[in-house]
Structure 1
Amino acid sequence: MYVTEGHALSAPSADSAAVVRELRDRAEIMDALYRFGLGQDLQDKELFASSFAADAELDFRPAAAKWGGKPPLMTGRETIVTVILGMFTGRVDTTHQVANARIAVGGDTARLTALVEAQHLLTADHSTFALLKNPYDVDLVRDGDRWVIRRVRIDNTWFTGDPARIFAG
């Protein structure tokens, strides 16, 4: 499930061109996850949508199960954007921080695992909040010069606050 190789790059160190290509891919792969988080934080529909492939899948069920939530499996970029931003825009303030990212690149596909801390506060009452520490398991595909998320599975290691109230929107 998680990227656990004992090295960062797969390109041979003697092949400078391959190393540069892989480093560019890795930067673009990370950018897809950054667009995912910042798009939510800024409530920016275009930025958020740019992180996903048209046929993307977002599975928040493993995380939500930790507090009794039962969200649907979200399929398709438009559905994901509509559901997530519809739940948060004007109602919930968010911040996302990404750490411990690991990437495996294989041609035009990649796998990314990361730990994402997500802070959610009701806009009208910041004393109602949820702080989540979530492992992300992400499959990506090349989309021209950038990478986009094809599938993301979000689990939860721990939370504090009241996620049921935050995600009830």
Structure 2
Amino acid sequence: MDADRTARLERMLDRQDILDCLVRFSRGMDRFDRELFLSAFHPDATIAAGDFVGGPKELYDWASAMHEQGQVATQHDLLNHTCEIGGHTAHAETYYLFVGRNRDESNWIAGGRYIDRLEFRGGAWRIAMRTNAIEWSGALPTLPLPFADVPDVHGNGAPSRDKDDPSYRRPLVNLRAANNPALSSPSGKEK
């Protein structure tokens, strides 16, 4: 393989490792998985988010308490991602969409960008500096959750903000009975 292609592959691997790091932050926050969340940051990182400025452990404590008090569910979704890598330092901009189901059953949505400096230390890319550029916020109408009336809708596990969430199950297997609503009449009898 030529040197140019090898260099491109190395950049792609670094870029994927950086994106995986950012996903660990989001998933760790949404699942209240402190260890996963902290694995996205170097221990001496500085984060500026809202009125918080400090380190990753303090950020987790502050943010998880805020989300626990305010929401029953959150999603920190990552969108457009750009990344400039120079040696052992990278600068990334990642658009995000935050959605929270509030305890009063209202819904909150906000968007912005995570602007990060990441450093490759000890064999891993992690965030060394983050600033959160919040650009907009609003409320979504509250609607009933889809399929809430299906008796076994959570037969494979109910969403939760801890390691009981189905996403942690290994191996993931289906525990629900086969059912195709298109083959049933409104009365529930076969057509």
* TM-score of the superposed pair, with normalisation by structure 1: 0.74
For residues 1-169 of structure 1, what are the structure 2 equivalents within 5 Å? 15-61=4-50, 71-73=51-53, 75-89=54-68, 91-92=70-71, 93-122=73-102, 124-127=103-106, 129-161=107-139
Given that 2:52 and 2:59 are in contact with CA atoms closer than 8 Å, whether structure 1 keeps it comes out as no
What is the distance in 1 between the residues matched to 2:57 and 2:135?
28
The one-letter amino acid of 1:149's match is I
Q: CA deviation at 1:91?
A: 4.7
Alignment CA distance shift 1:90-1:45 (3 Å): farther
Provide the secondary structure at the position in 2 that maps to 1:126.
Answer: coil
| Backbone CA RMSD of aligned residues | 1.9
Runs of at least 5 residues in structure 1 that lack an aligned partner in the other structure = 1-12, 62-70, 163-169
Given that 2:29 and 2:60 are in contact with CA atoms closer than 8 Å, whether structure 1 keeps it comes out as no
What is the distance in 2 between the residues matched to 1:57 and 1:120?
25
Q: Deviations for 1:96-138, whole angstroms, at most 9, x for unmatched residues?
A: 211110000011110000110011222x3321x3200112211
Q: Deviations for 1:130-163, whole angstroms, at most 9, x for unmatched residues?
A: 200112211101133321111111112211039x
* TM-score of the superposed pair, with normalisation by structure 2: 0.66
What is the distance in 1 between the residues matched to 2:66 and 2:121?
28
Identity of aligned residues (%): 27
Residues matched between the structures, number? 138
Alignment CA distance shift 1:89-1:136 (3 Å): same
Identify the structure with bigger relative contact order (alpha carbons < 8 Å, sequence gap 6+): 1
The one-letter amino acid of 1:24's match is L
Q: CA deviation at 1:87?
A: 2.0
The one-letter amino acid of 2:98's match is A
What is the distance in 1 between the residues matched to 2:3 and 2:120?
25
Partner in structure 2 of residue 68 of structure 1: none
Q: Which runs of 4+ in 1 moved over 4 A?
A: none
Provide the secondary structure at the position in 1 that maps to 2:27.
Answer: helix
